[in-house]
Structure 1
């Protein structure tokens, strides 16, 4: 049952990132509210308001039809313009910054809610328009429902004004980087809190029995609670082999068990591993490092040539690396001081190499950016780290960066700057 809820949660996370998620919910709410108002109109809510608050009710059928028609046409125009602006935003972000930023921009809840307000208001007004029925020479007017349609249109206009303001803020690279950093720092902080309960007494698992997956896909997530419960119940220890976000081929080992398991138990455990054909790694903080690194690389490419953006992104990158220096290269699921499940993570050395390799290729020709990266390494070496080896890794990557830069640069002033950095880094 828990694995079922895990799959439901993972499915919810995947559809929540779709641009149509909140608009769909708002559309359904608009239809339901319109049906509710039609029911209340049959109960005489407009007649009651005519007697007690006549200024709230539209009495003219032609006026009601004209107002609702104008509202529907205006709302559709605003919705089309807003969708066009979102597409322009996504296209610009993909071409100027990085295609990896698109999932975060698409899943922006504010844009989805605004589009949802448009759609719900349109559907509500359409249903109310259909409820205006001619009776002889007159119309049966749902006066209060028409008034609500007008109010919803006014709300949509204010939502449109906010949308213009918000989309102008969203496209700015500083706000994009801030959102990426904020989400990643929250994730790393959560992992650091979980590490405080780890006992670090997990045995070597090289000789354990390996079990393979029965399909291919991106390893999205797994039910940590179910694996922990299974390990305690069956008196065994488990190790999850693939790293979250990596592509797993059919027949690849996905976990190891200290005790040999039955076929039924293996099938039960495999149901707790969620594989998808799409790369959705919203719960993986490594995506933030990839996104910011690609922003730097894209900014330094000849087609963009925006070193200012690169310098800004390096500041956020250095702060994320500082947080990662506080985390171990291993992760465990524990209970009552006992580690039951070991989970693989990208080591600090591998992570730093993946960051530094593209930066060395695209940034070594710009002395200002190289100087910024050099001072980043210098500052990080002075920071607190969980392991002393992290400082050695930083020094090694800084040496690689300066070595490549010296081979590219020929200007004596630039070389003098690089030598000064080398002396400060003691490399």
Structure 2
């Protein structure tokens, strides 16, 4: 039963991430409302309103058909215009910024709600239009249902205005960068709040000789059903170490976990159902992707075809804030049972690996640009002053500063510009409490 619930949770999480999920729900809702109104009409709701509030009822069949036909045609035109514009804007965002940001833009639920409302209103109007029969009896006309269709169609116009405003704002680069930053920050803050400061790595046993569990799937490790995994550990009285960090692309038959006990085939299958895979990456599930996307936008902005250093500088500013927040999180993560004992060890990307793979491409693409070198060094100088829970954080930052200084010396020929870059080096030296020496200008 637990295995079925775990599978259902992962399936539902995957399903709600699809672009067509919420529009489908709205469409079904529009169909249901249409049948409810037709049932109400069969019970005489229009006849009652004609007698008590005649102004609320459309009592002419030709007028009702004309109105509904016009609304149907208008809504279809709005849908074509709206989502043709979306495709153009998404293509522009992919070319100018990064293809990785498209899933985040497409999965915007507000835009899905608007699309769903369009479809729901369209289905409702078609259903009511089909129910209108040529008759001279105004009491047999679904007048009140037509009025509801008019109100729903008027709301379509209001949502169209909102949609134009929302999509034009969402495609702005500053808004895209801020959205990525906020999602990564939210996820990272959640992980920091779950970290137990009194816990250390020595509390979890060495797992080198444990039984290896291989995955039977391929894709990005998107989610881990921690609750189900913890319940499995309690049931089998075992400990599990996850070998792959979330967001990693995993191939079939690659080890994904280790267990301190030999598991039967059914138990292994149960454990594997706790891992959810996807063919795409989502920032709200994996904060590392936020670092990747901001880095890629900065690199694309510095390419000769785009040539937008202002966007690259903005990305580095947001990366600095995320790195400062990352310094508040340990390089390990454990899940405890009800006895306050760590039974699950989660694999995480450590700070050294993260900062290196962010700054490697930035150094490669920006080493000839004095402004960008200055900005990267300023960001690292800021991190050097930030309080950290990671023991060797200062050494890692100093090493990264040295790499940038070496690239600057090798690529900047103007001595005055180079001296300006090295002024940040002199400021960082005042906060260098490690035994590592900073590269000198001479």
TM-score of the superposition, structure 1-length normalised?
0.96
Matched, 1:223 2:234: no
Shift of 1:283: 0.8
**Counterparts of 1:278 and 1:69 in 2: how far apart (Å)?**
41
Structure 1 residues 247 and 92, CA gap change in structure 2 (3 angstroms): same
Deviates more, 1:133-142 or 1:328-337: 133-142
**CA contact under 8 A between 1:360 and 1:401: conserved in structure 2?**
yes
Deviates more, 1:18-27 or 1:278-287: 278-287
Shift of 1:268: 2.1
**Counterparts of 2:179 and 2:38 in 1: how far apart (Å)?**
43
**Counterparts of 1:198 and 1:32 in 2: how far apart (Å)?**
55
**CA contact under 8 A between 1:198 and 1:337: conserved in structure 2?**
no
**RMSD between aligned alpha carbons?**
1.8
**Counterparts of 2:15 and 2:228 in 1: how far apart (Å)?**
23
Partner of 1:9: 9
| Structure 1: runs of 5 or more not aligned | none
Deviates more, 1:253-262 or 1:41-50: 253-262
Shift of 1:125: 0.6
Runs of 4+ in 1 over 6 A off after TM superposition: 136-139
**CA contact under 8 A between 2:31 and 2:124: conserved in structure 1?**
yes
**Counterparts of 1:153 and 1:289 in 2: how far apart (Å)?**
42
**CA contact under 8 A between 1:244 and 1:281: conserved in structure 2?**
no
**CA contact under 8 A between 2:23 and 2:113: conserved in structure 1?**
yes
Partner of 1:397: 400
Partner of 1:414: 417
Structure 1 residues 90 and 2, CA gap change in structure 2 (3 angstroms): farther
Shift of 1:302: 0.7
Shift of 1:9: 2.9
1:386 to 373, 381, 389: 389
**Counterparts of 2:170 and 2:91 in 1: how far apart (Å)?**
13
**CA contact under 8 A between 1:18 and 1:106: conserved in structure 2?**
no
Query: Secondary structure at the residue paired with 1:135?
Result: coil
**Counterparts of 1:125 and 1:243 in 2: how far apart (Å)?**
49
**CA contact under 8 A between 2:100 and 2:293: conserved in structure 1?**
yes
**Counterparts of 1:115 and 1:414 in 2: how far apart (Å)?**
53
Shift of 1:13: 2.9
**Counterparts of 2:197 and 2:82 in 1: how far apart (Å)?**
48
**Counterparts of 1:183 and 1:31 in 2: how far apart (Å)?**
35
Matched, 1:257 2:262: no
Shift of 1:31: 0.8
Matched, 1:31 2:31: yes
Partner of 1:68: 68
**CA contact under 8 A between 2:281 and 2:289: conserved in structure 1?**
no
**CA contact under 8 A between 1:61 and 1:139: conserved in structure 2?**
no
Q: Which structure 2 residues correspond to residues 172-183 of structure 1 after superposition, within 5 A?
A: 172-183=172-183
TM-score of the superposition, structure 2-length normalised?
0.92
**CA contact under 8 A between 1:298 and 1:304: conserved in structure 2?**
yes
Structure 1 residues 100 and 260, CA gap change in structure 2 (3 angstroms): same
Partner of 1:269: 271
Matched, 1:116 2:119: no
**Counterparts of 1:225 and 1:424 in 2: how far apart (Å)?**
47
User: When the two structures are aligned, how many residues end up with a matched partner?
Assistant: 427
| Structure 2: runs of 5 or more not aligned | 430-437
Query: Secondary structure at the residue paired with 2:134?
Result: strand
Deviates more, 1:133-142 or 1:79-88: 133-142
**Counterparts of 2:61 and 2:376 in 1: how far apart (Å)?**
70
